[in-house]
A and B are shown apart, each in its own frame.
Chain A
Amino acid sequence: MLLLIITIPFVFGALSFLIRATAARRALLIAGAVLHAALVASAWHTRPAPALAGWLALDDAGLLFLSITSLLFAAAALYAIAFLKREHHDKARRDFDDEELFTNAPEAVLIGCLFLFLGTMSIVCASQHLGLLWVAVEATTLASAPLIYFHRHARSLEAAWKYLLICSIGIALALLGNFLLAVATMNTGGHEMPLLVNSLVANARAFSQPWLKAAFIFLLVGYGTKMGLAPLHTWLPDAHSESPSMVSALLSGALLNCAFLGILRARQICVAAGLEEFTGGLLVGLGLLSMAFAAVFILAQADYKRLLAYSSVEHMGILAVGVGVGGIGTFGALFHAINHSLTKAMLFLVAGNILALYQTKSVKSVRGLSRRLPVSAGLWLAGFFAITGSPPFGTFFSEMTILRGALAHGSLAVGIVYLALLAMIFVAMATVILRMTQGDADGATVSEPWLAIVPPAALCALTLVLGFYLPPALADVLHGAARIVGGM
């Protein structure tokens, strides 16, 4: 079962490189997305058995992130159909910024790499072996780099190059972290210990603490680069703003979570070894730093896709703070990971609709959105309220839970800085987003294809529902996942 969830994307990916007919390939994309989502949904009913001698297993944290990934992929796949219909293939187009001629990558590459991206992320979510986790995280980088370079112009090339290089270096440091962790285990009787999360957690007390600390720092820096924690987030705004919108949605909503899972695994082992305070301090520090960086760059941001990208840096910071303070904050962080993924993916998809009509990413050039694209404008506004954590959206409750955790387990100062940064970002985003929806439109209302509207609307509705009602099954998994990283 678990092997099926992982192999299906690879099989479909290989098929989409082989199939020549465009219509068949698009049907394949939808079929693969639906099949994967259905299999993951069935995992909520009966948890799949571990595979490959325990290397692959779905614990609560893995199931949670796998479900987010699968759901967002389904939304992105539907949206991709609308996107591909809008893109005129085979013809060179003028770039809207610098008048450069460019073409698109072949559709087979886009769809094939989307599937490979899904497959590698599924492995990340399911892997219980730190070595395998590392291999899979690096593989996600490789599968997604061609996606960023879909529009073949100089800017997206620059973004893809930065992404590939910076993330590969980051991940290389995480490999060093894995080696250091292996050194830390050598205290326990001299025999080699497999780097399986379960056996590491069980023996964590006996590990050499200085080496374990060093291992955590390198894992945090390494996976933190991929997750977009400041000051190593520099690839993120470029990659998110230059890639096609459904790819940005997957990068922000699914990929960053996968890197976060890598950090959670490291934290899980350190908590078992009694290093809760040390690792928590580092996480809170990096988290607040990320929020501060994001706040500065969101202020007076002139490009709305970069705005969303910096908002992702902010929310990754919030997740780090939540896990760092521990206790109820951990639950809040995991809940926030869901809310952020749904909301941010939805915002990127809507941004894609805006970009398709206005042909510019500049905030100043987008006016009168509510007249020209009424549905997208409504979603854009709703998304703004959701992403800034306004009630009644789920984000409000998760951000408040993290605040409660910070006040209960962290310190008052952490709580105050956290709240101040949230408020600052709210104001900064409000000025940008409200300006876009209002104003006079110099054009008629445009009808929007339903495939470009339904996926973001569904994601938005889910965030809204999570604000009112947390299904008991989801709450169980959230609490279970929080417990394994030392929270509740």
Chain B
Amino acid sequence: MGGWMDMILVLLILPGFVMLGSSRLQACLGALALQGMLMGVLPLVSAESPITVRLACLALITIALKGVTLPRLLEKAMRRAEVRHEVEPFIGFGTSILVGIVGLAVSFWLSTRLPLPGSTKPSLALAIALFNIFVGFTLLVTRKVALNQVLGYLVLESGIYIFGMALALELPLMVELGVLLDVFVAVFVMGIMIFHISRAFEHIDTDRMSTLKE
């Protein structure tokens, strides 16, 4: 199973770079869907024991939510808000990719420095988790379009989720489902708000939301 797991983990680097380097929101949402699918498969291939009903349920729900529903929801929000591109991010797309490469290197370095209890070799999953958390923060800080900030939040959340998986933590099913439900509702509410923002500010550029300041 180890080989499959490593492959999925390596594939999880890809969506991060697409989101960092693309100005087209459609491409970013595609990357988000890919990431969601991979996240759903991950618990299945990482299991050392045979696949239980619990795992299968979780995988199915994750794929349905993160791989299909959330990207669809955001795509709808994007259509209704009539915005297709990121506008002038605080750092350019080329630079963003460079930042991503540096982030990836740092993540791998950090994962060698943080030995997990019970294992001596550096964990690939830990590196990927840190990389996704890093990409999430980069998107949150450097992007102006509200939709991209939601993407940043989702990537950050996925990174934390992979971190949990890297440690083979088994949260009770109820908690896992609760986390998924929270993320779903959060994105749902954010999607509605993006529509309102596009009406109120005639754009979903959060940089224009600057009335409330000291």
* Cα distance A182–B146 in the bound complex, in angstroms: 33
Choose one: B179, B186, B193, B214; the contact of A157 (CB below 8 Å).
Answer: B193
With A132-B178, A168-B186, A169-B140: A179-B211 Cβ-Cβ less than 8 Å: no
A175 near B197: Cβ-Cβ < 8 Å: no
Cβ proximity bits B29-62 to A, threshold 8 Å, 1 near / 0 not: 0000000000000000000000000000000000
Residues of B close to A186: CB separation below 8 A: 117-118, 167
The interface on chain B, measured as residues whose beta carbon lies within 8 A of the other chain's beta carbons, has a size of: 39
Interface residues of chain B: helix, strand, loop or mixed (majority): helix
Task: Give CA–CA (A165, B167) in the complex, Å.
Answer: 27
- What is the CA–CA distance of A142 and B178 in the complex, to the nearest angstrom? 13
A125-161 CB contacts (< 8 Å) to partner B = 129, 131-132, 134-135, 138-139, 141-142, 145-146, 149, 152-155, 157-161
Closest A residue to B161 by beta carbon equals A175
Interface residues of A in 344-385 (CB under 8 A from B): none
Q: Is A297 an interface residue (CB 8 A)?
A: yes
User: Quick check: is B89 within 8 A (CB to CB) of the other chain?
Assistant: no
Decide yes or no whether A187 CB sits under 8 A from chain B: yes
Q: Assess whether B189 is in contact with A135, with CB atoms less than 8 Å apart.
A: no
B160 surroundings in chain A (CB, below 8 A) = 172-173, 175-176, 179
Complex Cα spacing A487 to B167, Å = 34
Is A211 an interface residue when CB atoms closer than 8 A count as contact? yes
Q: Which of A131, A132, A183 contacts B167 (CB 8 A)?
A: A183
The segment out of B6-14, B71-79, B168-176 that lies at the interface is B168-176
**A interface footprint on B176-214 (CB within 8 Å = 1, 0 otherwise):** 001101100110011001001100110000100101101
Q: What is the 8 Å Cβ interface bit string for chain A, positions 284-300, against chain B (1 contact, 0 not)?
A: 00000000000001000
Interface residues on A, range: 35 or more
In the assembly, what is the distance between CA of A12 and CA of B140, in Å? 37
Question: Whole-angstrom distance from the CB of B155 to the nearest CB of chain A?
Answer: 11
Quick check: A157 and B212 within 8 Å, CB to CB?
no
Given A161-B146, A161-B209, A168-B153: A132 in contact with B193 (beta carbons within 8 A) = no
* A165 to B193 CA separation, bound complex (whole angstroms): 11
Q: Which residue of A lies closest to B210 (CB)?
A: A158
- Give bound CA distance, A139 to B146, whole Å: 21
Cβ contacts under 8 Å, A154 to chain B: 200-201, 209, 211
Residues of B within 8 A of A169 (CB): 140, 153, 156
A149 CA to B192 CA, complexed, in Å: 12
A164: B residues at CB distance < 8 A: 186, 189-190, 193
- Given A138-B182, A139-B182, verify A172-B156 contact (CB < 8 Å): yes
Check if A277 is an interface residue, CB within 8 A of chain B.
no
Task: Return the chain B residue nearest A194 by Cβ.
Answer: B172
Q: Are B169 and A135 in contact (CB under 8 A)?
A: no
Partner of B153, one of A149, A153, A165: A165
Q: Does B163 contact A (CB under 8 A)?
A: yes
Contact (A176, B196) CB under 8 Å given A135-B182, A155-B212, A164-B190: no
Q: How far is the CA of A146 from the CA of B182 in the complex (A)?
A: 15
Cβ proximity bits B131-163 to A, threshold 8 Å, 1 near / 0 not:
001000000100000100110010011001001
For the complex formed, measure the closest distance between the CB of B128 and the CB atoms of chain A, giving whole angstroms. Answer: 15
Chain A residues with CB below 8 A from B174, complex form: 131-132
Task: A16 to B7: give the CA distance in the assembly, Å.
Answer: 50
B87 within 8 A of A: no
Residues of B within 8 A of A145 (CB): 189, 193
Q: Cβ of A440 < 8 Å from any Cβ of B? A: no
B116 within 8 Å of A (CB atoms): yes
Cβ contact within 8 Å between A179 and B169? yes
Contact present for A159 and B200 (CB under 8 Å): no
List of B residues within 8 angstroms of A160 by Cβ = 193
A135–B175 touching, CB < 8 Å: yes
CA distance A84 to B140 in the complex (A): 37
B182 in contact with A142 (CB, 8 Å): yes
Smallest distance from the beta carbon of B191 to chain A beta carbons, Å? 11
Q: A238 and B212: CB pair below 8 A? A: yes
Chain A residues near B214 (CB-CB < 8 A): 237, 297
Q: Are B167 and A182 in contact (CB under 8 A)?
A: yes
Smallest CB gap from B212: residue in A:
A238
Task: Give me the 7 closest cross-chain CB pairs, A-B, nearest first.
Answer: A131-B175, A135-B178, A158-B209, A138-B182, A238-B212, A154-B200, A186-B117
Which residues does B use to contact A, with CB under 8 Å?
Answer: 116-118, 133, 140, 146, 149-150, 153, 156-157, 160, 163-164, 167, 169-172, 174-175, 178-179, 181-182, 185-186, 189-190, 193, 196-197, 200-201, 206, 209, 211-212, 214
A-B contact pairs, 19 of them (CB 8 A): A129-B175, A135-B175, A135-B179, A135-B181, A142-B189, A154-B201, A155-B211, A157-B193, A157-B200, A158-B211, A164-B186, A165-B153, A172-B160, A173-B160, A175-B160, A179-B164, A179-B167, A211-B117, A237-B212
